[in-house]
């Protein structure tokens, strides 16, 4: 679509802007907290809330913070750990009345925790046992979300990204998709610039890589192309101050980021980012992909690399450095092994003959550039 809404009034009336079928009902709202609580009541849901600790000082979330069935999550790490999910599930299971809906309020981490807890409630093993694709799992509680940061697409994807004892890998299952996502772009006004900037950078990389993928479906590529245009328009501006019109575009680009992952596949920067993430528990995913893109100038030479440099410059953000996150030369071999294992992502970018280009030496070369930066 073109001519994106600039005001909340236009946003709530905007017709569906994504093509790919998603499993989530998107509720466009001018009063996210109010609409969430109203819908839960109208539909007779027994809700259990998970809210990001960072929102506890924000009066707009008062009606949620007053709820009895509430878990305040300290989302300081980049992703929730499988142990966080296990502890929360155990806590909920001890309750006399069981919730039928887990509501995640916050950024990607709180949403991922809600998704994982929702499905794991109905499945006996530790969350770490369910990290992967196509595993046999039962449907758990319904998952509802109220995002307070836009760009991850987590609000509509059937993936709960988790950091386990061995690996960072999501629970990928249709029962992990939120049933309802209440989208109110005003709620991201409290997010720090660092989070708003890097989350949109990740959104840009998703759209850019899917739009350039050789294995993505057509609808996903079209959604990614729209998302790419929106992410670019946001990142080409200085994001120091929160602005509602940008928040609206970011929220719309985020939904496209989720819809385009269904049928779409990211590429090289994401493959490289997983090696980095596995070597540094505190490295946020969005920063890892930025580092990866900055070392892929020869692969993404039709804009991806140059635009990344430009967005960092406009926003006066210095290029992130691996060494600031404890990553050095000694981890190159391990990172290379992780990245080389992401067959589908290499296939996505280079096509069926990807092994002609991509081998250990090629991948190691990229990591050497990253650690030397």
Binding site for Zn ion (CB under 5 A): 202
Residue with structure tokens 């450095």? 321
CB of 247 to Zn ion, least distance (A): 20
CB of 286 to Zn ion, least distance (A): 7
CB of 7 to Zn ion, least distance (A): 29
**In the complex with Zn ion, which residue's Cβ is closer, 37 or 161?**
161
CB of 289 to Zn ion, least distance (A): 5
CB of 112 to Zn ion, least distance (A): 13
CB of 292 to Zn ion, least distance (A): 10
266 vs 347: CA distance, rounded Å: 10
Q: At what angle do helices 285-294 and 268-279 cross, to 10 degrees?
A: 120
For residue 217, count other CB atoms closer than 10 A to its CB: 17
**In the complex with Zn ion, which residue's Cβ is closer, 207 or 246?**
207
The torsion defined by the Cα of 257, 258, 262 and 265, in degrees rounded to 10, comes to: 40
Are the C-beta atoms of residues 253 and 233 closer than 8 Å to each other?
A: no
**In the complex with Zn ion, which residue's Cβ is closer, 52 or 202?**
202
Please provide residue 101's backbone torsions phi and psi, each rounded to the nearest 5 degrees: -140, 125
The torsion defined by the Cα of 226, 234, 205 and 109, in degrees rounded to 10, comes to: -110
188 vs 185: CA distance, rounded Å: 6
CB of 285 to Zn ion, least distance (A): 6
Give me 113's structure tokens: 């925790």
108 three-class SS: helix
Determine the length of the chain: 373
86 three-class SS: helix
Residue 215: name the closest of 343, 337, 302, 308 by CA: 343
313 vs 82: CA distance, rounded Å: 36
**In the complex with Zn ion, which residue's Cβ is closer, 137 or 231?**
231
The torsion defined by the Cα of 330, 333, 337 and 340, in degrees rounded to 10, comes to: 110
**In the complex with Zn ion, which residue's Cβ is closer, 202 or 223?**
202
Give me 93's structure tokens: 């299971």
Strands (DSSP E) contained in the chain are 25-28, 47-52, 70-73, 101-106, 132-133, 142-147, 159-163, 168-172, 180-183
**In the complex with Zn ion, which residue's Cβ is closer, 84 or 202?**
202
CB of 214 to Zn ion, least distance (A): 19
**In the complex with Zn ion, which residue's Cβ is closer, 102 or 339?**
339
**In the complex with Zn ion, which residue's Cβ is closer, 28 or 157?**
157
81 vs 165: CA distance, rounded Å: 8
**In the complex with Zn ion, which residue's Cβ is closer, 33 or 159?**
159
Closest residue to Zn ion, Cβ-based?
202
CB of 199 to Zn ion, least distance (A): 10
Host H or E run for residue 26: strand 25-28
**In the complex with Zn ion, which residue's Cβ is closer, 123 or 273?**
273
CB of 315 to Zn ion, least distance (A): 18
């Amino acid at each position: 679509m073109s001519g994106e809404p600039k005001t909340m009034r236009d946003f709530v009336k905007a017709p569906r802007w994504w093509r790919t079928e998603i499993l989530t009902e998107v509720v466009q709202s001018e009063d996210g907290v109010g609409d969430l609580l109203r819908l839960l009541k109208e539909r007779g849901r027994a809700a259990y809330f998970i809210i990001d600790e960072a929102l506890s000082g924000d009066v707009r979330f008062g009606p949620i913070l007053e709820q009895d069935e509430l878990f305040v999550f300290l989302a300081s790490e980049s992703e929730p750990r499988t142990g966080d999910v296990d502890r929360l599930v155990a806590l909920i299971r001890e309750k006399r009345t069981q919730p039928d809906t887990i509501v995640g309020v916050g950024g990607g981490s709180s949403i991922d925790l809600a998704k994982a807890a929702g499905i794991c409630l109905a499945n006996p093993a530790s969350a770490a046992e369910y990290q992967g694709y196509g595993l046999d799992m039962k449907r758990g509680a319904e998952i509802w979300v109220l995002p307070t940061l836009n760009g991850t697409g987590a609000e509509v994807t059937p993936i709960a990204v988790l950091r386990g004892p061995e690996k960072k890998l999501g629970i990928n299952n249709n029962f992990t998709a939120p049933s309802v996502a209440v989208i109110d772009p005003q709620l991201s006004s409290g997010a720090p610039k660092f989070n708003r900037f890097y989350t949109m950078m990740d959104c840009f990389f998703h759209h850019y890589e899917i739009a350039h993928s050789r294995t993505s479906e057509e609808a996903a590529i079209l959604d990614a192309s729209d998302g790419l245009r929106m992410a670019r328009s946001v990142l080409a501006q200085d994001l120091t101050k929160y602005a509602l019109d940008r928040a609206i575009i970011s929220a719309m680009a985020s939904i496209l980021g989720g819809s385009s992952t269904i049928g779409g596949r990211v590429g090289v920067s994401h493959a490289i980012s997983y090696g980095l993430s596995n070597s540094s528990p505190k490295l946020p995913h969005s920063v890892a992909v930025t580092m990866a893109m900055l070392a892929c100038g020869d692969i993404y030479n039709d804009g991806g690399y140059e635009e990344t440099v430009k967005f960092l410059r406009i926003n006066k953000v210095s290029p992130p450095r691996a060494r600031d996150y404890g990553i050095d030369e000694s981890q190159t071999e391990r990172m290379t092994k992780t990245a080389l294992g992401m067959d589908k992502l290499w296939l996505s970018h280079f096509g069926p003959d990807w092994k002609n280009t991509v081998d250990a030496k090629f991948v190691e070369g990229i990591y050497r550039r990253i650690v030397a930066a």
